[in-house]
Amino acid sequence: MAHSYRELIVWQKSIELVTFVYRLTKQFPKEEIYGLTSQIRRAAVSVPSNIAEGQGRLSKKDFRHFLGQARGSLLELETQLLIASNLGYMREPALKEFMERSGEVSRILHRLIEVMSEAESEPATRN
């Protein structure tokens, strides 16, 4: 297991996703700055933030919980960007790139959640 959240590939990829989302939403209509743009950015920031917070917890169960929170924020983000696309705030290639990046983060998160669940169910060994 990584000693720091910064060593986790999923955290690194989610930070890249946040940067992508901020650049993407910079082009959204100004009237959305306190609406959809703000919601999208908060959801994006929540993904790596939850990964970092979970990695800093003292138990695998807590870490898994925060990974689940991060995955929920990622799905929220996908939904919000689909809405933005439907409203014409972004072009199809940008949505496609986002979905590819998001899918990668989702797959890594899912696998890490599985690994943490398996680790939780392993019996403690005594020496």
- Answer yes or no: pTM beyond 0.75: yes
d(CA 78, CA 87): 14
Q: Give residue limits of the domains in the chain.
A: 5-120
Q: Provide the phi-psi class of 88: left if phi over 0, else alpha when psi is between -120 and 50, else beta.
A: left
Residue type, 123: P
Over residues 80-89, mean pLDDT: 97
**5-120 adopts what CATH topology?**
de novo design (two linked rop proteins) (1.20.1440)
pLDDT tens, position by position, 87-103:
999 999 999 999 999 99
Tokens 């807590």, located at residue: 62
pLDDT tens, position by position, 14-69:
999 999 999 999 999 999 999 999 999 999 999 999 999 999 998 999 999 999 99
